[in-house]
Structure 1
Amino acid sequence: MPDEAAASPLPEGRFDGREAFDALLRNAFAAAAREGWKEMVFSDLDFADWPLGERATIEALQAWAASGRRLMLFAQRYDVLERGHARFVAWRRMWDHIIECRAAGKASGTEVPSAIWTPSWFVHRIDPERSRGVSGTEARARRELREAIEECWRNGRPAFPASTLGL
């Protein structure tokens, strides 16, 4: 008998609070591995309160990572991620060939969305301070979120290198 929890669809609708947001992210990481999503976009001011340093997150991302996959990271800044999520930083180094990172330009003026986007599902934290937002599969909402992220991406610059080369 298949594991019903593993096969359950990702949640849709409004969420409120840090615990609900964290649960959505954890579910998304597990679903990415289970369903073999080809592309994911993570976008946030600095990823400070995302559960990216957790062992279970890295295990799910490791199971997801494969040839033909793509992860795009967009942030205002990466210093908090580098200091606070050592496991993720190490995983990012190993999978550099499927990960592209950009940062918002200093004069961008555009607010960085706090979101996960995939071709079939999204999480958008509309109020990051209170961890309130919406998740779902609705095509229009996914398209609008992707367009907002792409606008930031175009105005951004390469950032968060996997390694620092020095002479």
Structure 2
Amino acid sequence: MDIDDTDGGAALPQGRFSGREEFRQRVRDALACAAREGWREIIVSDATFEDWPLGERAVAQALQDWCVAGRRFIMLAQRYDEVVRQQARFVTWRQTWSHLITCWRCASADALELPSALWSPGWVMQRLDPVRSIGVSGREPERRVLLRESLDEWLREATPGFPSTTLGL
């Protein structure tokens, strides 16, 4: 695992947040920062991603601007049906950039146990209470390491999910 303070996040909010809109704004800000600063890896995790602003035009543009060869986007969910139903721009982006994106699924996970988080080598955000959208974000090395270890444990249990294309007969 590569933890490096030089991989951005300096301008992003630190500390506690509360409420769905504040959470969504931190997601927007983080992805815009990732594009601006060229984060090499992003991991997002949530049971369904229904509260995430992934389908918004500005978020889709930030993800588009972030895409460069050699970068990695890892996504972990219990299920992806809400993403497909509510986040059309993200689904299109995922199809276009499938070579940079790996999607994993923990179908048997309890929705409240699976971390709701965004991890990067330089900044992390985690909803500690996804129902009320209460959480914390920061650059502290210990926080980044602990979240990455937790996500790695979940990823070891996961199976591939959310294919970029659906093959039919």
Q: Same fold (TM over 0.5)?
A: yes
| One-letter code aligned to 1:138 | E
Match of 1:24 in 2: 26
Match of 1:3 in 2: none
Match of 2:84 in 1: 82
Match of 1:59 among 58, 61, 69: 61
Please identify the structure whose Cα radius of gyration is greater: 1
Cα RMSD of the aligned pairs, angstroms, is 1.5
Match of 1:39 in 2: 41
Which sections of structure 1, spanning at least 5 residues, go unmatched? 1-6
Q: Deviations over 1:13-67 (max 9, x none)?
A: 0001111111111100110000000000000010001000000000000000110
1:8, 1:34 → 2: CA distance?
A: 12
Contact map agreement 2:10 2:139 (CA 8 A) in 1 = no
Contact map agreement 1:105 1:155 (CA 8 A) in 2 = no
Q: 1:134 to 1:165 in 2, by over 3 A?
A: same
| One-letter code aligned to 2:141 | A
* 1:51-130 matches, cutoff 5 A: 51-106=53-108, 108=109, 111-130=113-132
1:26, 1:61 → 2: CA distance?
A: 10
2:51 aligned counterpart, secondary structure: coil
Aligned-residue offset at 1:109: 5.5
2:168, 2:146 → 1: CA distance?
A: 40
Which sections of structure 2, spanning at least 5 residues, go unmatched? 1-8
2:57, 2:110 → 1: CA distance?
A: 35
1:103, 1:62 → 2: CA distance?
A: 23
Contact map agreement 1:116 1:122 (CA 8 A) in 2 = yes
* TM-score using structure 1 length: 0.92
| One-letter code aligned to 1:100 | T
Q: 1:157 to 1:8 in 2, by over 3 A?
A: closer
Q: Percent identity?
A: 52
Count of residue pairs the alignment pairs up: 160
More helix by share: 1
Runs of at least 4 residues off by over 2 Å = none
Aligned-residue offset at 1:105: 3.9
Contact map agreement 1:26 1:57 (CA 8 A) in 2 = yes
Match of 1:14 in 2: 16
| One-letter code aligned to 1:86 | A
